Structure 1
């Protein structure tokens, strides 16, 4: 019996999944980012038994992750007309034209040093659409295509800039994710156009509709989505309005078009909350029920009330004071029994069912004689408890959290309501029009304080509800859920769990961090309003913004000290009892000397871009994001709070989808262009260059965890042409149809700073500023992706010699056989191992085909038939987890066998991969049986679950159920 990929369960270790945990610690344990209860105070190094279960991550069948299939981009680049090239060149050296490899239309058109159009008194929408119509050579939209556009939103920020969104609609059904976005200044200058609109949509939709009617109902799509993440559908009544369905528990389903490089599909877009942190958005194929898209919406962390502004015991803001919740208009005048306010609804969700049950709600505080609720201290609960860090419960007495339940919920309500109002004020201006959380708009924050506090066997929290916090953020109009946990695991010593016994609801830095995930996920969106913070670069900025906005508030209000001395401003100061919570303080300048500004290798000073993969021991969003948070703090110090917060926030609204840190650097430069006319551009470039994010810095794309840093500002003067050849390393034959692009400027898309080779293997990229570019990328069907540094000077020619990858399906490799289940319908089948793209892979089960958790591996293999007999020189393997499975699902032990006829097999290589091998290719030399090979068999012999025998099947690791690998390449000569 086999099972579809959508039947795979939720196993994701909260503490491991970057998407799941907004506030996972990057200092505070040998595996703090994975295990909040480990000993010591060092950055994360390796996976250990985690605090909670691993969870399914993001998946997108359009570009399965940030590492898109470059062959598509090469094809798109090869089809670009002379007129399109002329348009790109007309924008100058700092122009940006990025073309989506799926649609062939622009993902982004903009300039960093000027506007696309001059001043105009026309309507902003007319300016943007007029520009699109005037340039069909670039946007490729016919009149019929333009007729599918429907204005979804046009809001004006506090600088007067219009942020405009059009969706594409055919036969009343909206296209998911694609459309148009435009940004127009108050003076009518067009800043940018984005969105990857679908051309030829009307014809494609009509053809698709005629070919197949939906077989999956709305209810079926809801069930499929919940099953995909291992949840259980809650019993709820359904209400249908037109084609849309809403369930009484808040789940929704609506029909959408979903466009991939393989064509248009009809699907169901769902929002499901199946309890706990199981909150996701999906697109489910309406014909097959397969998952086309999965977005983890959780980012992991009379009215007189007694509240504190920072944390219990803080020098400033650490003593309870009286705040009237009704006077501040956070609660209606007639509120009595529930903390259900104008922007926040709070309760103690101690059983973690996301519902305010009896005994979990808190009466509105305040009596005739005074304010409520006074905090009771538990100063014998831990050696960390002191007058400066007051403990609010005793983990040795789990029910002790009940003593401060009313106080806990009320304080959380106050902090979230207060931060809502703060973010709404200039210069941040996170208003209802921009997507803020408001009861009037139908999406107040559902704040679950003491979340899961009674889920353990002894009445305290279980392993999934301790030492963390999170915030899920659906699109505008649907309420987010914030979950605040208790800290310090019951039964753990202070050495094992180095956190103050407390609650996230009593730490403003934690709660404000979580709330800011709502800000970034509502501002960095696609044309249809879905968050695009998906890749490791974008996710790292998500965590960094959350730290930055939280600490900005605390410093602005004098609650956190910030002088000219570095190393003072600490996220999580309370729960870490004054020690480091992140690996460094947020105000560590480059080369700063401070005990809180020491890098993992012992060197002094804040981080630069090349530190991205090593800050926490390995690439991870919370640790890797520290370089971005420190850079933003540099901007704050350089420009002052008001201007820095303005351009940083406005840049989110100008951002392309799934941005890299270099993309966001560009957006901040553009935000200054809007506000000051570009007067501060040189200073902004100086700040970023100082952090290694200069003009020549390079990334392959948003999924690149190993960026190349550079310390130069944009060059001035004439541009030149980078040209040369791409030839087969072994044969010297020209390679046609290869994509050549300059990473950090094209980010894997066709467009500017990119070209495709002709039949003779020649390429030419015009309009390139001279200098050394560390990541020039070459990708061709049937060849390895190579990245090398190129110094561009007038007349320079750069030759590239990639090796033939004989296993690649694009070069003739095929899957001749495999065992285990087939998850091809969800984009996770065996062919994913040979598609030459690290964004996809082969996912299988650890034990039986049903994915039953086990501590005994049933070895899985794929057989690859090469297009010819080959003398193999090397294998190249990326053993990483795929399809949203967690890190422990990566291949551990492996074996590679070879055969001349597909019948007789012999071992060619074997070994063991660990966490350090993830996210990259690992060269494996054959130890024998490498000549005359036409078949290669790759065996997955174990997942990367630590202590697999003991941690499975009842442990928290996803590798107990699923084992994956991303890619295998085969090099050699025919």
Structure 2
């Protein structure tokens, strides 16, 4: 058995990620191997946006009623999982309108509290693949009504014969007026048919032992595991029965949820649930920290603010509505209440160090604190501070809607919904690490745990328990895990990143005060971060790359940074963030900075309109309600839309303009596009505001074909909708003569739509081979708002310069397990965990070049293994495009690099393509890449395909298969030099002229024909009639002039 040592701090979910120059500091991936998450379904099928025919028909039917429909897609199961509107609700206040017929609505009892949800599912069963009858055997897991806006949020959990189906939920939100706001479904359409064997071969104890082995545990404590049966959907039509094991790793205190196949014992899913980072009186700091200073410095200043004094705060609860029994129930004399159990855990065994701090007979917690000595000398004061902040946060969030029914943390829920028995376990001065904090949040009813660490950047160390921003950050992880997507948890990359951003936002916004400048610079964790990694400017940067600020010269982060980190050298950046991981745009804390920066813009905009008290509270309320309205595992733009929708529910859209302007300022404008939440690749930022004129779809018009036509597709249609309350005029313009738009302008009444067709015209047939781009812009002529869509046209050459059908071996060089021959259909495992097998034949013929034609590639770390073509002479060729057939199954680029290169000398290679996420081809697919910039007119062009194992833990998959390699090209144009005419213009000048249609020629001069010292003429040419001309003044002696075509 391979033993995996648990990382004490998981950098993928840690609160902080700091300097890698201090090996003992744990804000980096640890130097010992961490325990990675597992989900064998992630490469079950190739990701695609294509829906099945039935689902596509259902969506189109719904779109015929709702032009601005927003549809979330499950790319693994090829079906919708979420529907909402860009502006408005799915149904009207009569629970129907045109979306639900009166007959369908009347078929559901008027007294049913979920009438509109069930009627919608019955009217549109084709959207999700099921109707309301699927709810009959489901269990309502959450059914809450928000007190401040009357929004009813309901979550159903699908079951089969009483056994729950993993993450199979229907999530519905209905306004107090009966309008269906949004609806999400992850139900399996036919669970009885999808179910595999229904009786487990393994016992619960065997599953627990297998789960422990997966985590490297050798001594499983039975009480440490909670196990039950659960169904795991592998795709839309297959489920496996599993044991659902919750297990805490003894060596580091991280909690994991593991789904163990009840037939085979294989761990199919493994997820870490730990994310990193009567009256009584408490002697505590009531501001940010012992050295409070928020906002921080506005420039790179190293000064530390002065220390503050603690206050003796007498309080039963911040809100007796939130804590009816108070923070410290009558009879309790230690830091243990209904909401929080605070204590130290110095030996990191996840068992409370006792005794906890004890109060006096007068219920006073007042302990000495000496910041000049080691924090463990003041542990009682530290625990009291932790108890205070965690209770304070409980009450603050309760009033925002994180109550019992929403899944909050309480031992006794007072009969107000939800599942009790889950008061927060708050471990102060936890001994399992330094310079971090973490929060473990299992489902409602299971105990969450917060672990706060000491920080060793200073002498003496600083205590994270005393920094309120750290404590509130961690608590907010619990909020987002319980609220987002109905409480199924957070695991997708973008959602995990937003989890960090939400935590930063709440920590700073909740501690804000009326006198704070909302546009200032806010340093998260300035107190504990002092001198960490040698950084003295902790009250400028805090623990992030940039301070949080609406000043783009202080914090330049925009939506595009989640795909590509581009740093402006003129803007100061935290000097401790230097490692490759810390600079990665997809690192979760870096993603969180982008999300929090957008939320900080929202807060500043609302404060500017409503003032501090109302604006700050409104921002917190909309963000909280946005979490509730989000689908499971939302991406950035779905979470943005949920906040805007929350304002529509709460305030009839009063703050629509402020919200759109704030998000647009950080690149999340109306025209921005975003991939599935599992990746950040190809996120496209846009800075336009939302407008009454809606244009769908958001996608570009992408077409291709051979020179001279035909192109496919030749047209694309866009639907324009007036989502406002008054008529508007619109216009559509484009930037290329090879496009036609019809109609190009018009007037839309409220709610009216029009279909605009964008088509290639005859001019496209005359284009030379190459790549062409254009822009299509839809504008509201009343507001001036513009929504742009890209146009991409690839015109391919029609002549073959080279063609290698690979029926016979061309003799290319190769290393590793690259080989030529017949593929045998081996490797992979049907797409579940290790992709698909090799093909059984070439795309044409029977042979291919491939990696290990008898199975999977080896996963040993090492150098790149290459397949390299011989030298290809492309002299006299232009507009070169390489095409080949690909069948590739490879792990994602964090583990395996699968790449394609081109070289013009056989030594230096330029990368043309690289894998991102796991690639899982189950059929041959034609790839084409324009290599003209490198290869045109070159005598020695080499093509290279490569793979390289770069990280331990890579999956063994079937790898590359290549067939039918060809280079398409045009003949290089024959350049005929135009006549250069010279006329003397006395006394000492000359007039040079040449035809104006000789594009691309440059005038050069030289005083000696025997040299190659030709220089571009410095005189600027002008156009006169049909000629270009220039007047020159030759130097003494003879001067030669020529026209050249570079």
| 1:70 is the counterpart of 2:47 | yes
Name the TM-score, length of structure 2 as normaliser: 0.64
Shift of 1:797: 11
2:833 paired residue number: 827
Aligned to 1:549: 506
Structure 1 stretch displaced more, 572-581 or 176-185? 572-581
How far has the Cα of 1:672 moved from its partner?
Answer: 0.8
Corresponding residue to 2:684 among 674, 686, 708: 708
Per the alignment, residue 42 of structure 1 pairs with none
Which sections of structure 2, spanning at least 5 residues, go unmatched?
A: 96-109, 293-304, 319-325, 413-419, 531-537, 559-564, 575-579, 607-614, 720-741, 743-751, 759-770, 780-787, 797-802, 807-820, 841-851, 869-880, 920-926, 967-1046
Verify: 1:181 aligned to 2:141, yes or no. no
1:277-307: CA deviation from partner (whole Å, max 9, x where unpaired): 4311222222222233222211112954432
Give the one of 171, 175, 198 matched to 2:188: 198
Cross-structure match for 1:485? 453
1:687 maps to which of 662, 665, 681: 662
Residues in 1 aligned to 2:185 and 2:172: alpha-carbon distance in whole angstroms: 8
SS of 2:470's equivalent in the other structure is: helix
SS of alignment partner, residue 625 of structure 1: helix
CA pair 522-710 structure 1, distance change in 2 beyond 3 A: same
- 2: CA distance, partners of 1:735 / 1:146: 43
Structure 1 CA distance for aligned equivalents of residues 669 and 75 of structure 2: 27
Which one of the candidate residues 485, 488, 493 is aligned to 1:530? 488
Pairing partner for 1:448 from 427, 432, 444:
427
Displacement of 1:108: 1.0
Q: 1:831 to 1:403 in 2, by over 3 A?
A: farther
User: Are 1:791 and 2:768 an aligned pair?
Assistant: no
Residues 486, 13 of structure 1: alpha-carbon distance in 2 compared, 3 angstrom cutoff = closer
The corresponding residue for 2:539 is: 578
The answer to whether the Cα contact below 8 Å between 2:153 and 2:172 also exists between their aligned partners in 1 is yes
More strand by share: 2
Deviation, 1:573, is: 3.8
1:798 Cα offset (Å): 5.6
Q: Which residue of 2 aligns with 1:407?
A: 381
- Which residue of structure 2 lines up, in the alignment, with residue 810 of structure 1? none
| 1:340 corresponds to 2:339 | no
Q: How does 1:328-727 map to 2 (within 5 A)?
A: 329-336=326-333, 338-356=334-352, 359-366=353-360, 371-378=365-372, 393=374, 401-425=375-399, 428-440=400-412, 441-452=420-431, 465-488=433-456, 497=457, 501-526=461-486, 529-531=487-489, 533-556=490-513, 562-563=516-517, 566-568=520-522, 570-576=524-530, 577-583=538-544, 587-592=548-553, 600-604=567-571, 616=583, 618-639=585-606, 640-702=615-677, 703-717=679-693, 719=695
Separation of aligned partners in 1, 2:311 and 2:500:
31
Could you say which residue in structure 2 is the equivalent of 1:281?
257
Alignment partner for residue 243 of structure 2, among 258, 263, 268? Answer: 268
Q: Closer, same or farther in 2 for the Cα pair 1:713/1:594, shift >3 Å?
A: closer
Displacement of 1:601 after TM fit?
1.9
Report the CA distance between 1:263 and its aligned residue.
1.2
Shift of 1:642: 1.9
Cα separation, 2, equivalents of 1:924 and 1:54: 41
> Which digits, 9 at most, give the CA deviation of each residue in 1:888-936, with x for residues without a partner?
x6348x9999xxxxxxxxxx999999xx997699999999xx9999xx9
Match of 1:295 among 271, 284, 292: 271
Say if 1:606 and 1:75 are closer, same or farther in 2 by CA, change over 3 A.
Answer: same
CA contact (8 A) 2:193 2:237 kept: no
Query: SS at the partner of 2:776?
Result: strand
* Deviation of 1:103 (Å): 4.9
How far apart are the structure 1 equivalents of 2:345 and 2:891?
Answer: 33
Describe the superposition over 1:778-811 as per-residue Cα deviations: whole angstroms up to 9, x where unpaired.
xxxxxxxx9998636699996666999999xxxx
Long gaps (5+) in structure 1: 39-48, 237-247, 379-391, 394-400, 454-464, 489-496, 608-612, 743-763, 773-785, 808-812, 835-843, 865-870, 898-907, 944-958
How many residue pairs end up in the alignment?
783
Equivalent in the alignment of 2:226: 251
Distance 1:190 1:507 in 2: 42
SS in 1 for 2:83: strand
Given the alignment, which residue of 144, 156, 160 partners 2:150?
160
For the pair 1:129 / 2:118, whether they are aligned, the reply is yes
Deviation at 1:420, TM superposition (A): 1.0
- Greater C-alpha Rg: 2
| CA drift at 1:575 | 2.8
Deviation of 1:660 after TM superposition, in Å, equals 1.5
Q: Distance in 2 between matches of 1:264 and 1:581?
A: 46
CA separation of 1:669/1:144 partners in 2, compared to 1, >3 Å: closer, same or farther? closer
SS at match of 2:216: coil
Cα displacement (A) at 1:183: 0.1
Q: Contact between 2:672 and 2:685, CA under 8 Å: does it hold in 1?
A: yes
Q: What SS does structure 2 have at the residue aligned with 1:555?
A: coil
TM-score (norm 1): 0.68
Q: Do the aligned residues in 2 keep the contact of 1:715 with 1:770 (CA within 8 Å)?
A: no
- Which residue number in structure 1 is paired with residue 731 of structure 2? none
1:96 match = 70
**Structure of greater relative contact order (alpha carbons < 8 Å, 6+ residues apart):** 1
CA 615–468 in structure 1, closer or farther in 2 if over 3 Å, else same:
closer
CA RMSD of aligned residues (A): 5.5
2: CA distance between counterparts of 1:920 and 1:414? 46
Aligned to 1:890: 895
SS in 2 for 1:231: coil
Q: Distance in 1 between matches of 2:150 and 2:21?
A: 46
The aligned residue for residue 754 of structure 1 is none
Q: Give the C-alpha shift of residue 674 in structure 1.
A: 0.4
